[in-house]
A and B are shown apart, each in its own frame.
Chain A
Amino acid sequence: MLSRREPASDEVAGAVTRLVILLGLFIWMFRPELTRIASTAAGSSDWVHTLIIPVMIVLLVYLRRAALVQKLSGGSPWGILLLTAGLALYAAATWPFSYGYIRDIAMIPVLAGIVLVAAGWRALRLSLPMLLLVMLAIPLGPRIYARLIIRPETYTIQAIAAVLGVLPGVDTVVKGVDVFFESDFGSGVVALAESNRGVRLLPAFAALGVFVAFSRIRSIRRLVIVACTAIPIILFCNFFRFFCWAVLDVYVADSPAGPLPRNASTILSLLLAYLLFVWASAAKLNLFVDPDQGAPRGEAANE
């Protein structure tokens, strides 16, 4: 006899089939938005992580497959409510209002509704990280993004100018969003020709954090720790990327707009973000007994 925690294979097949059919309809419904998001991502280094997010989602599903199979059920009709709410949001963002970003965001309640209808509440709960990744994959409009980043960009630029100024033989001046430097090796502008240079890759760092944090089933307490450290980690990695770029510009780069400083600083900062998120997700702190130790691998704690 099968226990409640181990659904029959036909129940799993039923849920997966329902999911695949509804996801097919979802792609049909949102094809213009998905196409636009993909083309935006392909053309902007701010959102290029969007192209990796489907891979991250597939990996998360794979890593959580055992728990997902355990949590599958016959689905819940409440999903229809989420689905129609998402579609209503989409319609309202087309007429009478016109908000491209809201139309994109409407995909999330629709996806949540699909998972709920096809696989039930507990599967939806396990799928929340994937939905969060979808949200982080949706590019913000350039005008909204430019307005949102004013404070972090201003502070990052000022911090970079201050730190660079401490380095031997380097003088810096900030003009608007430009950090001008003068050193024994030459002079120039840090991160020349890059827009939003003080706050690049924030969504990419956040997506990396979500992926690392949810790559294993973790306790609520651990997730709270990751959530509390996420913003400082993201901002520090953003700072670190710009700092690496500045140091390379000052000491190494011979061409101010060459690819070396940009690529090296991006790789280093993403690596740092990965390590910091792994640390926040797994470090054993003496503040409490690590609940991860107590829970068997693959078993849901209190997520």
Chain B
Amino acid sequence: MSRSGKSVSLSKSLLSAGFLFSAAVLGVAAVGLRPGAKALSKHYAKEPIPVRKPLSEFDTLCLPSFATGWDREDIPPEEIETDEFAIIRLTRRQIAEGPKEVVLFVTYYSDPKSKVPHTPDVCYRQGGAILKEMKNIAIDIPGLARGREVKTRLLLFEQQTYNQAVVFCFYADGRFRHSREQVRWIIGMPGNRHVYFSKIETVASYPKDASPDSAIELCKTLFREALPVLISQHFPTVEQLRR
């Protein structure tokens, strides 16, 4: 083929509809896609929303199983990246079977730029615990308005001198989730004007040679009783999110 024939053929291949359209799509995307998406993101940016009642005022007397016979102690936080939290240790006054204390750990985030925090399966290990088991469990929570089971994450850790059971889940924009990615998905969903998410965690210790059952049951009981209080008294309602 002659040189002019080759250049004609090359020009022809560069003028194919598929190539030209692709080049145009990529060119337009390079110029406009990122600024367009960022403009939309700015225009529809969600706003923070405060809790209805500070978590520090969480009333443990509202918890039927813990209202009497338990002492409350508020624990100072460590690097939780929020000012809205409740870390409450409940200790039995009298010796009884099972764990002698249980901790309720609730954090609340409403800045749309807030990162969803690490989950206990990551941070407990950094603190020296060895993860022995992790699985999803469903907890029946009759106190919720629409009585239902909530899927949570159960973790069992081995510490140096004792073991720990941890139950946690997230509550984001009025929905329960048990992984960070699910929370990120919910808080990104368009529709609501406001955004928030919360991590709710209960922790109970048990001796190294003991079965974890009673610690798990105690965590579940605290979870079952604390969650309706948090939702009905502290977290914003679904209607407030939309306003």
Per-residue 0/1 for A1-45: is the Cβ within 8 Å of any B Cβ (1 yes, 0 no)? 000000011110111011001100110110010000000000000
Describe A's contact surface by its main secondary structure.
helix
In the complex, what residue of chain A is closest to B11 when comparing beta carbons? A14
Q: Are A22 and B38 in contact (CB-based, < 8 A)?
A: no
Stretch at the interface among B77-85, B123-131, B166-174, B214-222: B123-131
- Total A-B residue pairs with C-beta atoms closer than 8 Å? 139
- When chains A and B are docked, how far (Å) is the Cα of A176 from the Cα of B14? 59
B162 close to A (CB within 8 Å): no
Q: Are B23 and A21 in contact (CB-based, < 8 A)?
A: yes
Cβ-neighbour of B160 out of A9, A146, A147, A175 (below 8 A): A175
With both chains docked as a complex, state the minimum distance between the C-beta of B233 and any C-beta of chain A, in angstroms: 30
Query: Could you say which residues of chain A place their CB within 8 Å of the CB of B22?
Result: 22, 79-80, 83, 113-114, 117
Describe B's contact surface by its main secondary structure.
helix
- A91 and B118 in contact, given A22-B22, A77-B17, A175-B160 (Cβ under 8 angstroms): no
A188 close to B (CB within 8 Å): no
Q: Are A32 and B129 in contact (CB-based, < 8 A)?
A: no
With both chains docked as a complex, state the minimum distance between the C-beta of B74 and any C-beta of chain A, in angstroms: 26
B29 close to A (CB within 8 Å): yes
Q: Are A150 and B131 in contact (CB-based, < 8 A)?
A: yes
- When chains A and B are docked, how far (Å) is the Cα of A146 from the Cα of B179? 13
A98 close to B (CB within 8 Å): yes
A185 close to B (CB within 8 Å): no
A288 close to B (CB within 8 Å): no
Per-residue 0/1 for B4-44: is the Cβ within 8 Å of any A Cβ (1 yes, 0 no)? 01100110111011110111011101100110111011001
Per-residue 0/1 for A165-207: is the Cβ within 8 Å of any B Cβ (1 yes, 0 no)? 0000000001111100000000000000000000000000000
Q: Are B9 and A118 in contact (CB-based, < 8 A)?
A: no
Cβ-neighbour of A84 out of B25, B27, B118, B122 (below 8 A): B25
- Interface positions, chain A 89-114, Cβ under 8 Å from B, are 90-91, 94-99, 110, 113-114
With both chains docked as a complex, state the minimum distance between the C-beta of A150 and any C-beta of chain B, in angstroms: 6
- When chains A and B are docked, how far (Å) is the Cα of A99 from the Cα of B185? 9
Q: Are A95 and B40 in contact (CB-based, < 8 A)?
A: yes
Cβ-neighbour of B14 out of A18, A99, A175 (below 8 A): A18
Query: Could you say which residues of chain A place their CB within 8 Å of the CB of B128?
Result: 175-176, 178
- Interface positions, chain B 96-154, Cβ under 8 Å from A, are 115-116, 118-119, 121-122, 124-131, 134
B residues within 8 Å of A by Cβ?
1, 5-6, 9-10, 12-14, 16-19, 21-23, 25-27, 29-30, 33-34, 36-38, 40-41, 44, 115-116, 118-119, 121-122, 124-131, 134, 160, 180-181, 184-185, 188-190
List 8 contacting pairs A-B, 8 Å CB cutoff, sorted by A: A21-B14, A21-B19, A25-B30, A32-B34, A74-B13, A98-B184, A98-B188, A177-B125
